Chain A
C-alpha cells in the first residue's frame, strides 16, 4: 500500500513536508490516505446536515475538522463511525469499506472515537473504565467468563497497561474513584485514555478541549502529539483555533454540511471562503445605514488575534 505502516514512527516533519505538496483544495487527494470517503450525505427531514463529495485523511497526520456551529462536523463523525446511518455514501478505512458497518465493528477495525459530551461510565471506577477499552478479552464471552483461570492472566496484563496509561494521562491517583466523581476535564482525559486502551489506528476526537482548563490543555496537546509520534492518525473536531493552529498538520473546513476548504492551518485560516463561513460574507463591509449589523454567529476564530 505505502511506505509508512501504522507501527512505524512517523515524524511530524515528514508528514508536514508530504502535505506541503498537496494542493489545498476541498477534497484534495493525499499521497497516503488512511481514510477515504465519497458522496457521503445525511439529511434530517429537509435539512442536509452532511454533504461531503470527497474527503481523504493522510496516514499519520493530525487532521483537524473545523467549521461554524451546525456545520455537520459531529454528524459526519457519527456517520463514518457507524453511529448514524447515512442517506448515501461510501467510505473506506485502510482500504476496507466501512459503509453500513455497525459501530462496534468500526471500532474493531481501528477507528476509535470519543464523544463531544463525554461518555464515561459513572458507576465504574476509573480503572474499570480503562479495562473496558482493551480489545479481544477472553473473559468477555459469557461462558468463558465463568472460569477465571481462562482470563485472569490477560486481565493482569490489561490492568498493567491501564495503569501505565493512567499514569501518562495524570489520572493514576484517581484509579479507584468512580468515574462519575471526576471533573469535566478529567473525564475528557479518561475518555481519551480509554480509547487508547483499544489500540486505535486512527483516533477520532470530538472536541477534546471543550471544558478542559488551560493548564490541562497544554498537557493534552502534548499527549496528542505523542500519539502521532507513535504512529497513530488523529482526526479531530475542535473549536479552539489556538489548538488547531498549534498541533494540526492539515485542516478540513466544513460549512453547511460540505467541505469548503482544506489545507495546512496557516493557509486555511487566510482562506476567504473560511473567513466568510465563520464571519459571514459581509463581515468587512460597513454596517448598514440603519445601524443593523449583518449577524452571523460569532466564533473563536478571532480569539487568537485578540489575545
Chain B
C-alpha cells in the first residue's frame, strides 16, 4: 500500500485550493454567524456571484480581471442588501430560510436554458479567463516533494489564495477587538439589550451580512480562477453546509477557527478517501465489503461520524472555550 501518495495527497489538499475556498466561505460565515449570530445559509449564493462575476466579465465579455473583481464585490453587496432589507428586522430563522432559498434561486437562474448564451446553462463557462494573471506567475515550475505536490499554476493560485486568507484573518482580528466587534457580539447575545443602549442593531447586522458575503464572494472568485471554469452545481447548498462544518470544526467566533477547520476538514476528507482507496486496491479490504467506486460515499460517511464525535466530545470546536458554551445552558 502506497502510504507516501496517501500522505502526499492529503497534505497537498490540506493547504490546497479547496481548503482555501472553504476557508474563505467559513471566514465569511464566522463574521455573520460566529460573531453576529446571523444564520446565513446562502453562502453558496455569494460564492456563485463571485465566480460568475469573474466568468462573465472576463471570459464572455473580455474585460479585465480587476474590473471583474470589483463587480464581484458590488454583486455580493447588492445580494446582501436584497437579503437583509426585508429579513434583518425579523427573527434569525427568517434570514436562514430566505438565504437558503435565494442561493438556490441564483444557482437555478445560472443553469437556466434561457440564459444559456450568457451563463452557459448547466455546463457553466469554461475559458482562459485569468490568462494575464497566470502570466504573472513567478514560479518556473511546480513542486513535487514527499509531503506536497503542486503544478506550476496551482502553486500560484495557492500562494495568492493564502494571502487573501491572511488579509481576511487580519481584518477579522482587527474588527473583533474593536468596539464595532463588541457591538456585533452583543447583538448575537441579545439584540434588545443592544437596542436599549442606543445602538442601531439593524445597521450592524446589515454590515455583518454584507462583509461576510463579500468574503464569501472571494471564495467563488478563487474557485473560478483556479478551475478556469464555473459550473452552477458547484454552488449548491453543499458548499454552504461544508463551510458551516469547517467553521464549527475550528470553533465559531474564533479568528483562526475557519483556517484550522478548513485544513483539518480537507486533510481528513482526502486522507480517509485515499487510504480506503489504497487499502481496497492493495487487497486489505475485500471488494465484497467495499469497491473503489463506493469509496467516495463511505469517505463522507466516516468524516460525518468524525464530526458527530467532535460535537459530542468537543462541542466548542478546536479553538472554542467550553466555559462559554456552558453559559448557554443556564
- Seen from chain A, the residues whose Cβ lies within 8 Å of a Cβ on chain B are 81, 83, 102-105, 107-108, 112-115, 119-124, 128, 131-133, 135, 137-142, 144-146, 148, 151, 155, 178, 180-181, 191, 194-195, 197-198
Whether A103 contacts B195 by the Cβ 8 Å rule is yes
Give every chain A residue within 8 A of B197 (Cβ-Cβ).
104, 107, 112, 132-133, 194-195, 197-198
A104-B199, A121-B190, A148-B177 given; 10 more Cβ-contact pairs under 8 Å: A83-B192, A107-B196, A123-B327, A133-B197, A139-B180, A146-B174, A148-B174, A178-B324, A180-B330, A191-B193
A199 to chain B, nearest CB (A): 10
Per the bound structure, the CA–CA distance linking A181 and B326 in Å amounts to 10
Per the bound structure, the CA–CA distance linking A197 and B196 in Å amounts to 12
Per the bound structure, the CA–CA distance linking A128 and B179 in Å amounts to 9
In-complex Cβ contact of A180 among B185, B196, B327 (8 A): B327
B190 to chain A, nearest CB (A): 5
Whether B189 contacts A124 by the Cβ 8 Å rule is yes
Per the bound structure, the CA–CA distance linking A140 and B198 in Å amounts to 12
Give every chain B residue within 8 A of A145 (Cβ-Cβ).
174-175, 178-181
A168 to chain B, nearest CB (A): 18
| B330 and chain A: residue at smallest CB distance | A180
Is the C-beta of B200 less than 8 angstroms from some C-beta in chain A?
yes
| A82 and chain B: residue at smallest CB distance | B195
Interface string of B290-330 (1 = CB under 8 A from A): 00000000000000000000000000000000011001101
Give every chain B residue within 8 A of A114 (Cβ-Cβ).
196
Whether A120 contacts B193 by the Cβ 8 Å rule is yes
| B324 and chain A: residue at smallest CB distance | A123
Give every chain A residue within 8 A of B198 (Cβ-Cβ).
104-105, 107-108, 112, 135, 198
- Seen from chain B, the residues whose Cβ lies within 8 Å of a Cβ on chain A are 171, 174-175, 177-183, 185-186, 188-190, 192-201, 207, 211, 323-324, 327-328, 330
Whether A113 contacts B189 by the Cβ 8 Å rule is no
Give every chain A residue within 8 A of B183 (Cβ-Cβ).
132, 140
A78 to chain B, nearest CB (A): 10
Per the bound structure, the CA–CA distance linking A123 and B323 in Å amounts to 9
Whether B196 contacts A115 by the Cβ 8 Å rule is yes
Give every chain A residue within 8 A of B192 (Cβ-Cβ).
83, 103, 115, 119
Give every chain A residue within 8 A of B328 (Cβ-Cβ).
122, 180
A133 to chain B, nearest CB (A): 5
Per the bound structure, the CA–CA distance linking A42 and B256 in Å amounts to 48
Per the bound structure, the CA–CA distance linking A140 and B196 in Å amounts to 16
Give every chain A residue within 8 A of B180 (Cβ-Cβ).
139-142, 144-145
Give every chain B residue within 8 A of A122 (Cβ-Cβ).
189, 327-328, 330
Per the bound structure, the CA–CA distance linking A151 and B188 in Å amounts to 23
Which residue, of B175, B190, B192, B196, has the highest number of chain A Cβ atoms within 10 A?
A: B196
| A112 and chain B: residue at smallest CB distance | B196
Q: How many Cβ-Cβ contacts under 8 Å join chain A to chain B?
A: 110
Per the bound structure, the CA–CA distance linking A138 and B180 in Å amounts to 9
Give every chain A residue within 8 A of B330 (Cβ-Cβ).
122, 180
Whether B179 contacts A137 by the Cβ 8 Å rule is yes
Give every chain A residue within 8 A of B190 (Cβ-Cβ).
119-121
Q: Chain B: interface secondary structure?
A: helix
Contacts known (A122-B189, A146-B171); A195 close to B196, Cβ less than 8 A: yes
| A113 and chain B: residue at smallest CB distance | B196
Would you list the 7 A-B pairs with minimal beta carbon distance, nearest first? A180-B327, A139-B179, A145-B180, A145-B178, A107-B198, A119-B193, A121-B189
A185 to chain B, nearest CB (A): 15
A250 to chain B, nearest CB (A): 24
Give every chain A residue within 8 A of B195 (Cβ-Cβ).
83, 102-104, 107
| A136 and chain B: residue at smallest CB distance | B198
Whether B182 contacts A124 by the Cβ 8 Å rule is yes
Give every chain B residue within 8 A of A137 (Cβ-Cβ).
179
Per the bound structure, the CA–CA distance linking A128 and B188 in Å amounts to 14
| B329 and chain A: residue at smallest CB distance | A180
Q: What are 9 A-B interface contacts by the 8 Å CB criterion? A: A83-B192, A112-B198, A120-B193, A137-B179, A140-B182, A142-B175, A146-B174, A146-B178, A198-B198
Give every chain A residue within 8 A of B175 (Cβ-Cβ).
142, 145-146
Per the bound structure, the CA–CA distance linking A148 and B176 in Å amounts to 11
A74 to chain B, nearest CB (A): 13
Give every chain B residue within 8 A of A181 (Cβ-Cβ).
327
| A143 and chain B: residue at smallest CB distance | B180
Per the bound structure, the CA–CA distance linking A195 and B197 in Å amounts to 7
| A151 and chain B: residue at smallest CB distance | B179
Whether A123 contacts B178 by the Cβ 8 Å rule is no
Contacts known (A103-B195, A104-B200, A132-B183); A139 close to B178, Cβ less than 8 A: yes
A75 to chain B, nearest CB (A): 15
A106 to chain B, nearest CB (A): 8
Per the bound structure, the CA–CA distance linking A234 and B212 in Å amounts to 41
In-complex Cβ contact of B186 among A108, A124, A146, A155 (8 A): A124
Per the bound structure, the CA–CA distance linking A124 and B193 in Å amounts to 13
B297 to chain A, nearest CB (A): 38
Whether A81 contacts B193 by the Cβ 8 Å rule is no
Whether A140 contacts B201 by the Cβ 8 Å rule is no
Per the bound structure, the CA–CA distance linking A133 and B182 in Å amounts to 11
Whether A115 contacts B178 by the Cβ 8 Å rule is no
Whether B196 contacts A132 by the Cβ 8 Å rule is no
| A128 and chain B: residue at smallest CB distance | B182
Give every chain A residue within 8 A of B177 (Cβ-Cβ).
148
Whether A151 contacts B324 by the Cβ 8 Å rule is no
| A158 and chain B: residue at smallest CB distance | B179
Contacts known (A104-B199, A113-B196); A178 close to B182, Cβ less than 8 A: no
Contacts known (A122-B328, A123-B185, A140-B183); A132 close to B178, Cβ less than 8 A: no
Whether B324 contacts A132 by the Cβ 8 Å rule is no
Whether A140 contacts B186 by the Cβ 8 Å rule is no
B91 to chain A, nearest CB (A): 14
